[in-house]
């Protein structure tokens, strides 16, 4: 005697069109999040701030300028750099 099993019934079902629409919606949401978090390189931030790239590295090393390390390079979120600029020199 071999045990028999029945396939588990799904909690809900989607048509192919509904699944396609759901995937399209999720991709659009992901792209919107990505677009909202524009990243910049050290050189781009230096140009934006009117500084030498080494000065930007010094600010990062002193933890004065928010940045994230990705591999061997630093990346900066444009919104956070703009917020940092808006705080002014005294608040740093």
pLDDT digits (tens, 9 = 90+) for 30-56: 777 666 678 899 999 999 999 999 999
CA distance 28 to 65: 31
Q: In the structure, what pLDDT confidence band is assigned to residue 67 with cuts at 50, 70 and 90?
A: very high
pTM here is: 0.56
Whether residue 90 is predicted with pLDDT greater than 50 in this model: the reply is no
For residue 38, give every residue at least 6 positions away whose Cβ sits within 8 Å of its Cβ, in sequence order, or none.
77, 78, 79
Percent of the chain with pLDDT strictly greater than 70: 78
State residue 76's pLDDT score.
Answer: 94
Whole-number pLDDT of residue 49? 93
């Amino acid at each position: 005697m071999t045990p028999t099993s029945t396939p588990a019934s799904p909690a809900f079902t989607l048509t192919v069109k509904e699944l396609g629409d759901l995937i399209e919606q999720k991709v659009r949401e992901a792209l919107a999040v990505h677009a909202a978090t524009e990243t910049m390189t050290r050189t781009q931030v230096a140009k934006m701030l009117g500084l030498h790239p080494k000065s930007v590295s010094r600010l990062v090393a002193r933890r004065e300028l928010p940045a994230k390390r990705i591999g061997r390079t630093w990346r900066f979120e444009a919104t956070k750099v703009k917020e940092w600029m808006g705080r002014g020199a005294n608040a740093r």
